[in-house]
Amino acid sequence: MTLAIIGGTGLTQISDLTIIGQKTLDTPFGAPSADYVFGKINGRQLVFLARHGNPHRIPPHKINYRANIWGLKQLGVTEIIAVAAVGGISSAMAPAHIAIPDQLIDYSYGREHTFFADDLEHVTHIDFTEPYSPDLRQRIIQAANDAGIAITANGTYGCTQGPRLETVAEIKRLAQDGCDLVGMTGMPEASLARELEMAYANISVVANWGAGIVAGEITMAEIERNLEIGMNKAIALLKATVLL
């Protein structure tokens, strides 16, 4: 099993990763966000990719999701743990909390979202009933329990287009739709991984309450503060997960 970690906002590098090498790849879909970094955490070899580039410079709607996922497949990756900053919607999803979503709703648009578009021998519809790999999710949940890291073991992730944050009415609508979390990068990353038959799970790190859930504007300072705490927990969780 070759494991990859895709790091999001607040996780451009993993300081606990012993770096063994790195590789620049090109793909039929263009360039991935950054070089793929090979390293070891807790003795386990893995591949790391900074979703927004290193340094962080690519906004969610401009990420070349197809290139990123294609590159991982070329490297022989079979499982992907994607870490993502999100806004919290349901009451348990307070800032700096961590959740392992089990469902998603895609509200993004205009993104290159499939490998199955051109030169098809037959039209392919992947099954996406369970958008995240149940086995990989269970490993992460088990690791959290083993390491005593408090998480929410499920939830529905709503993927908005960004890069702006949402309005109060949009967050109310997402809540009515059943979304517990809102982020901008969860799709099409998850479905592209499924198209290439790689197991994929998401660790969501709550950066802020969704718009209107608490009074006042959402500031970048608040997001950065919460992500610092949340991403340290996410790294501890990754370290525990690679042991299983």
What residue ranges bind ligand HPA (CB under 6 A)? Answer: 85-87, 160, 165-166, 182-184, 207-208, 210
Tokens encoding 120: 């098809």
* CB of 2 vs ligand HPA, minimal distance in Å: 28
* CB of 165 vs ligand HPA, minimal distance in Å: 5
- Could you give the 3-state DSSP secondary structure of residue 241? helix
Q: Which is nearer to ligand HPA, 7 or 39 (CB)?
A: 7
CA distance 14 to 238: 10
Q: Which is nearer to ligand HPA, 39 or 210 (CB)?
A: 210
Q: Tell the residue number behind the tokens 């990353």, with chain if given.
A: 189
CA distance 17 to 110: 35
Q: Which is nearer to ligand HPA, 23 or 57 (CB)?
A: 57
* CB of 158 vs ligand HPA, minimal distance in Å: 8
* CB of 104 vs ligand HPA, minimal distance in Å: 13
Distances (CA, A) of 216 to 106, 173, 202: 27, 19, 29
Q: Which is nearer to ligand HPA, 46 or 184 (CB)?
A: 184
Q: Which is nearer to ligand HPA, 131 or 183 (CB)?
A: 183
* CB of 218 vs ligand HPA, minimal distance in Å: 6
Is 101 in contact with 158 (CB distance < 8 Å)?
no
User: Which residue number has the CB closest to ligand HPA?
Assistant: 87
Amino acid identity of 88? G
Tokens encoding 176: 């009515």
* CB of 207 vs ligand HPA, minimal distance in Å: 4
Task: Name the helix (H) or strand (E) containing 140.
Answer: helix 134-147
Helix, strand and coil percent figures for the chain, each rounded to 5: 25, 25, 50
Q: Which is nearer to ligand HPA, 71 or 186 (CB)?
A: 186
Tokens encoding 102: 């089990």
DSSP code of 60? G
Q: Which is nearer to ligand HPA, 37 or 182 (CB)?
A: 182
Query: What's the CA angle centered on 30, arms 165 and 68, to 5 degrees?
Result: 55
* CB of 224 vs ligand HPA, minimal distance in Å: 11
Tokens encoding 43: 């003795």
